[in-house]
Amino acid sequence: MAVFKPHLPILEDIKTKGFLAALLFKTNEAVERLTAGLDIEDIRGVLRGDPAPRPNPRVKPHADGFWFHMRPTYYHNLVTGLYPSFRLGWLSTYFFVFEIITGLFLMIYYTPSPLVAYENMLNILSNVPFGRLMRDTHKLGAELMVIVVLLHMARTFLTGNYKKPRQFTWATGVVLLFVTLLLSFSGYLLPWDQLSLWAVTIGASMVEAMPPPAVGELVNLVVRGGPQFNAGGLLRWYLAHVLLLPLVGIVFLGVHYYKVVIHGHSLPPEAEPVGEDTAKRVPTDQRTYFMPDVITREVLYVALLTAVVVAWSIFSFHAPLEPHADPLITPLHTTAPWYFLFLQGMLKIGDKVVWGLIAPGILTGLLIALPYLEVGPSRRYGDRRVGLSVGLLAVAVMAILSFMGTPHYLVSSSPDQEIVAELLPQTQPGPLRESDWNEMTAGTWRAAEWEAAPTATLRNLLHLYQEEVEHAQDSTRCRRAGNCLTDPQGSMLIEDWQDDLKRITFRVIWDGGPDQVCAVGSQNEFCQVVYFHKNANYWQKP
Amino acid sequence: MTWRVIVGTISFVITMIMLGFVAVTEQDRMANFSVAYEARTVETGGALFESNCATCHGLDGAGVPAKGPALNTPELFNGARLTEANFAGTVDNFIRLTIAGGRPRMSEWARAQSFIDPMPTWGETYGGPMRNDQVDALTNYIMNWGLAYQGGAQPTAEPVVGVGTDITVELPPGDAASGEALATSQGCTACHVLSATGPAWLAASDPNDQGIGTRAALRLEQPDYQGAATTPEQYLFESIVAPNAYLVTDNPAYINAATGQSIMPATYGALLDPQMTSDLIAYLMTLK
Ligand code: HEM
C-alpha cells in the first residue's frame, strides 16, 4: 500500500501509447499552449505556406495570445507589400529591441562613473570577447534607428496617415520620435570621451538659455547634475538612457501598436474613397492573413537586416572612441550629432533664447498639431499639394540648417589652424595618423616641395598640406571671413624621437614669419606638435 | 512565400557564420587593440611631457641644470636610481609613483644637484592636476625611452669635458646664436628672464635698463667687486663657472639664506665645455 500516489497522467499515456508517442504528444501540447493555438503541424504548415485549414487555427493566437493580439489577424491585400508602409514601423520596433539586447550586453561591463567609464570602454574593446562587435552594433543600430524612425514619420506624413482617425497614433509617434532622439543623444555621453563630453555640452548649453535666468540655471543644474558635467551628470544621463527613456519608449510603443490594431493599417491613399477610412472593413476576398504571409515577410526583413548590421559592424563600421573627456581642452570643430545639427545651425543664426528654445518649441508644437492643421479630408497626393509642398520645404530647410550647423559654415577659427586641423583633426584620426609610419622619413619637409619628398606617403601628405596652404591664401571661404594669409608656407619637421616614436612638428608661417622656429608667443607663425607611434594602428580604428 | 523562408534562413546562417568568424579572430583582435592602445598612450604621454615636464626635465629628457634630473638616461632604467632611492618595486612603478605623488621634500640625491624646486605632485589623487590615465600615459612615454637602453646599449653622446673654473684659460671663438640656444637648453633662462629669480639679462627687464652685456663692464668697476676678472668677458666667464666669486646682491632671493651662497648652481664649470662657455659669453655680450 503506497502512502501517497503520484498523479502523473503521462505515465498513463506512456502505458497506453508507448513512450515515444506519449512524449511527442506532450511536446505538441506544450507547443500549442506556448503559441496560444498552433501545434507543431500547424507551424510547419505556416512555414511551408500551405493554404489555411478550416477552421483556421492561425487566427487563434491573435485572439488568445499576448504578442499576436497586438497585430491584426489579416491585412488588406494592398498593404502587405513594400508600399505603402515600407515596413518602416516594424523596422523601428526591430531596432528598439536590437538596441535593448546589445545595450544589456554593454551594461554588464559599464559603470557610470567618470573615474572608470572610459577605462570600461577600453576594457570592452581589449578584453571582452565580442565586446567591440556589441559596441559597434549598438552604435550603428542607434544611428540606423534614428534614420528609420525619421523615414517612418516621413512616410506616414506622405501617405497622410495622421489624418482622422489616426491623430492620436501620430501624437504617440511624436513621443516615440523624441524618445528615439534622446536615447541616441544620451548614449553619446556614456563613453566619457571628448566627443561625448563636448557634444553633450553644446546640447546642455541650450537649455541653460531658458528664461527667466533662475529657471535656466535650475534646468541647467538638473541636466548637468552640477555646474559642470561630472559624476552626477553622468549618472543622470546613464539612468535616463537605460531606464527612463526605454520605459517611456516601451509604454508608448504599446499605445502606438494598440492604436494601429484598433484603426487598422491604412490603405494606400488612392485605393480608398476620399474621406473614408476602410482599413477595418476588409472584404473577405481581399484578406491576407498575418500568418503565414505577413509574419514571414517581417522575419525575412529582420534576418536580412541583422546580417547587414553585423557584417557592416565587423568589416567597416567602428564606433569612434576619442581621447578621455577633458573639460579643459575644447577640440576644434565639435559638432552635435547629425540629427541635432539643425539646432546647432539655428543657434548660429542668432539669439539662444529665440533660436535655441522658442524655435525648437514651436517646431515640436507644429509637429504634434499637424493633424489639426492639415485638416482636408483627402489623403490623395493630388489633393494635398499645399501640405506636401510645405512638408518638402520643411525637409529642405532642415537640410540647410543642418549644413549651417557644420563647421563649414561660419566658424571663426584662424586659417592657419585650419590647415593643420585638416591633416591632424582633433576629433578623428585623420590623414596623418592613418599614414604609414615607416614612410615618415625624418627631416624637414616643405609642403610646397611635396613632389621632391622621398616616399609616397610623404608626397601624399605634403600635397594635401600644400593644397590647404593654398586655400588659406586664397579661397572663397577665407575671402568671406576676411582672414586670408599673405604668402603662407607650410613645413613639417619629422624627428626620430624615441624607439618606435616620431615627433612631428607642423609649422605654418605667413608674412615672412618670425626668425625663431616655434618660439612661444611669436607672430605670424602657427606650430603644432604631434607624437606618432609605430604601433598606434589608427587605420584599424578602435 | 517559400523563397522568403529560404532567403531568411540563409541570412540567418550567414549571420551565424560571421559571428563564428568573430569568435575565432577575437583573441587576436583584442591583443592588437591592446598594443595599439598602449602605443597611443605613448603619443599622449609625449604631448603631456612637452607641455608639463620639459621645462624641468628637458624636451628630450636630458635634464635641465638647476631644474630637474635627466630621465632619458640608463641609470633610471638599469636600477641604479632605484637602489639609490631604496625602492623595491619596478622602474615602471617608481616612475608612476614619482609622477603621481611628486617628491614634496627633495631627496638627498636631488639636493646634491642643487635643483631649485622639488618635483611637483601631478596625480589627481594626491591633489595634482592630472587624471590617472594621464599619469599612465606619461609613465609609458618615459618607459619608452628605456627601450633604447635595453641589452646594455649606452647613450652615444660623448661625455662633456668641462671648462673648469679657471677664468684665465683661452676660449675658442664663440657663436652668439648657439649661445642663445644653450641658454635655454642649459636652463639659464629658467632664472634669468625676470629679475625675481636671477639678474635679468635683457635690458628691458632690468630695473636700470642695462642688459647683461652692459652690466658686465660696469660690475668690474664697482668698489665692492672682489672677483678675479679683468675684462667683461672674463666677468661673465667667472659668473657662470664660479657664481660665488662675486655675489650680485640686488635681490635677497639670489642668495641662499642658509649657506650664504648664490642660488645659481656652481656646477656649470663641469657641465659646459670650452666651446659652449664661449658661445654663451658671446651671446651675453650681445645683450647690451
Ligand atoms: C520608435 C519609434 C516608432 C515605432 C517603433 C513605430 C512603429 C509603428 C508600426 C509598427 C506601425 C505599423 C505600420 C507601419 O509599419 O508603418 C506604425 C504606424 C504608424 N506610425 Fe509609427 N512608430 C514609431 C514612430 C513613429 C513616429 C515618429 C510617427 C510620426 C510622428 C509615427 C506615426 C505613425 C502613424 C501615423 C502610423 C499609422 C500608419 C498607418 O496606419 O498606416 N510613428 N508605427
Element spanning A527, H or E:
strand A525-533
A400 in the same domain as A436: no
Q: Which residue has the higher pLDDT, B256 or A527?
A: A527
Q: Count of domains in chain A?
A: 2
Instruction: Give the separation between CA B267 and CA B57, rounded to whole angstroms.
Output: 17
- Cα(A173) to ligand 1 centroid in Å equals 6
CB contacts of B50 in chain A (<8 Å) are 529
Angle at alpha carbon of residue A508, lines to A504 and A514, rounded to 5°: 110
Cβ distance A324 to B46 less than 8 Å, yes or no, reads no
Contact call for residues A181 and A339 (beta carbons, < 8 A): yes
A123 within domain boundaries: yes
Q: Which three cell numbers stand for residue B243?
A: 657664481
A375 in the same domain as A486: no
- Read off the pLDDT of residues A326-349 as tens digits, 9 standing for 90 and up: 888 888 777 788 898 888 888 888
A9 within domain boundaries: no
Pocket residue to mutate for ligand 1, from A156, A161, A252, A265, most atoms within 8 A of Cβ: A156
Confidence of residue A399 (pLDDT cuts 50, 70, 90): very high
Cβ distance A307 to B18 less than 8 Å, yes or no, reads yes
Can you tell me the ipTM of this complex?
A: 0.85
Nearest residue (CA) to ligand 1, atom 34: A170
- Read off the pLDDT of residues B139-162 as tens digits, 9 standing for 90 and up: 999 999 988 887 544 444 455 677
A47 within domain boundaries: no
Q: A140: how many CB neighbours lie within 10 A of its CB?
A: 22
What is the domain extent for residue A212? Answer: 76-404
CB contacts of A499 in chain B (<8 Å) are 144, 147-148
Among A344, A372, A404, the domain boundary falls at: A404
Residues 6 or more apart whose CB falls under 8 angstroms from that of A56 comprise: A289
- Read off the pLDDT of residues A8-29 as tens digits, 9 standing for 90 and up: 777 888 888 888 998 998 999 9
A26 within domain boundaries: no
Alpha helices by DSSP H, listed for A159-212, are: 167-189, 194-208
Among A378, A404, A430, the domain boundary falls at: A404
**Rounded to the nearest 10 degrees, how much is the dihedral formed by the CA atoms of A69, A74, A78, A82?**
50
Nearest residue (CA) to ligand 1, atom 13: A89
A189 in the same domain as A89: yes
Q: Among A22-31, B54-63, B126-135, B144-153, which stretch is predicted with the lowest mean pLDDT? A: B144-153
Q: SS in 3 state form for A416-434?
A: HHHHHHHHCCCCCCHHHHC
Side-chain half-sphere of A42: how many Cα atoms within 13 Å?
21
Q: Which three cell numbers stand for residue B57?
A: 626635465
Q: What is the pTM of this model?
A: 0.79
Q: Which three cell numbers stand for residue B237?
A: 666667464
Nearest residue (CA) to ligand 1, atom 11: A89
**Architecture of domain B176-285 in this structure:** Orthogonal Bundle (1.10)
pLDDT at A209 over 60: yes
Q: How far is CA A241 from CA A65, A103, A191, B206, in A?
A: 31, 10, 13, 61
Among A359, A383, A404, the domain boundary falls at: A404
Instruction: Give the separation between CA A432 and CA A446, rounded to whole angstroms.
Output: 15
A373 within domain boundaries: yes
3-state secondary structure of A532: strand
Confidence of residue A477 (pLDDT cuts 50, 70, 90): confident
Cβ distance B42 to A501 less than 8 Å, yes or no, reads yes
Residues of chain B with CATH 1.10.760.10: 39-148
Give A323→chain B minimum CA distance, Å. 9
Q: What is the pLDDT of residue A4?
A: 78
Mean pLDDT of chain A: 88
Q: SS in 3 state form for B48-88?
A: HHHHHCHHHHCCCCCCECCCECCCCCHHHHCCHHHHHHCCC
The answer for A290, left when phi > 0, alpha when psi is -120 to 50, beta otherwise, is alpha
A483 in the same domain as A381: no
Instruction: Give the separation between CA A491 and CA A311, rounded to whole angstroms.
Output: 41
